[in-house]
Amino acid sequence: MTVDSLITRARELDSADPLEQYRSRFIGHDNAELPAYLDGNSLGRPLEATRERYNSFITEQWGGRLIRGWDEAWLQLPLTLGDKIGEVTLGAARGQCIVADSTTVLLYKLARAAVAARPGRTEIVLDRDNFPTDRYVMEGVANECGLRLRWLQASPDSGVTTEDVQAVVGPDTAFVVLSHVAYRSGHLADMQTITSAVHDAGALVLWDLCHSVGSVPVQLDAWGVDYAVGCSYKYLNGGPGAPAWAYVAERHHTDLDQPIQGWIGSADPFGMVQGYEPASGIRRMLSGTPPIMGMLAIEDMVDLIAEVGMDAVRKKSVDLTEFALEAVTELLSSHQVQVASPTDAASRGSHITIDHPSFRAVTAELWDNGIIPDYRNPNGIRLGLSPLSTSFAETLHGILAIEKILAAS
């Protein structure tokens, strides 16, 4: 396929795309100085609605209501927004999701809760290709609790399979922690069957959904997931440092024991009583004062996803990554670029990774020209294709830019 035919195909796909109309809702979608933003799996674009929401919040709520805002809405926002994220993107009934802290802190809280829920068990199972935070937090939890780490060694270009998990879980396993979409390769794990395999061993499972929430539909309740966590600045477009969310299945609420006991997570925050008594339900996952301003942009994006529907988001994601793989094959294979992501769409999230020894330098040059993917060691460029803000033409523009640099080197 020629370059001209790829350009024509990209234009046709954009014209036929039912979600193309939503791109205009994102700030900077038509910025000529940034012709290809392919890093939505690291930081999503802000919505125009968010600009309006922040202005309104500052003048009318923070500036107008001041401290009264806590009683009127803010104290409940971690719960109400958590419910909305659960309903729209996670297949979770009300009362099981909450917004609080960072992904790292919530991973720690949930891991400690899982340890407490499986007394006598001595191992945490995780994979060596998981995101560094997941590995580092579990190393710390293992040290604190006197547990062993049982490492899975999956292929970095594929990912953890059900068979991998079945081979290592057993009577010593307290819990297993895995990413639903692998941060490097984009491999999409079979959450349902892996969760079932973990439960067959009497253990619990903690899923990291940072790279899937808002781009890949999941059914946490139906699939029997115990715990889940995810950030909100990727496909939920919450902005830099936006707070993360946690899911705890209702069946675990009565014995939910998280280690960071703070006043907001207590049964009576304003009673100021001596001695900590946890709140009932998911609210006990809170510790300190909720980051209200960090939640505002998340609300806008979750509302947009609800309008569009997760099935439509997923279809666009698959179409984008399929087209990207097609363009990579046509334009970059002659330059010895290797695809490091699953070629089967059913096993892939919303980003693809391509490898080449010169990609660190190539990425820097791309950034200088307003082409923004990201680089991941040892030699990969990730093309993060955010379904509601990325076009087919934009995707092709980025791949053409990579080809141009490689051809000139």
Question: Residues 283, 348, 382, 392: which is the catalytic one?
Answer: 382
The secondary structure of 282-312 as a DSSP string is GGGG--S---HHHHHHHHHHHHHHHHH-HHH
- 10, 396 contact by CB (below 8 A): yes
Question: Residues 25, 45, 121, 234: which is the catalytic one?
Answer: 234
242: phi > 0 → left, psi -120 to 50 → alpha, else beta; which? beta
Is-catalytic flag, 37? no
Question: What is the Cα–Cα distance from 89 to 170, expressed in whole angstroms?
Answer: 31
- 327, 7 contact by CB (below 8 A): no
Backbone angles phi, psi at 197, to 5 degrees: -65, -40
Give the count of alpha carbons within 13 A of 320, CB side only. Answer: 33
Is-catalytic flag, 234? yes
Question: Residues 37, 233, 235, 392: which is the catalytic one?
Answer: 233
Question: Residues 131, 257, 303, 315: which is the catalytic one?
Answer: 131
Helix axes 392-408, 3-16, angle to 10 degrees: 160
Question: Residues 17, 208, 300, 319: which is the catalytic one?
Answer: 208
292 CB-contact burial (10 Å; exposed 0-12 / middle 13-18 / buried 19+): buried
Taken as a whole, the chain contains a residue count of 409
CA distance to 33, 51, 332, 377, per residue, from 216 (Å): 30, 26, 27, 25
Is-catalytic flag, 51? no
Active-site residue numbers?
131, 208, 233-234, 382
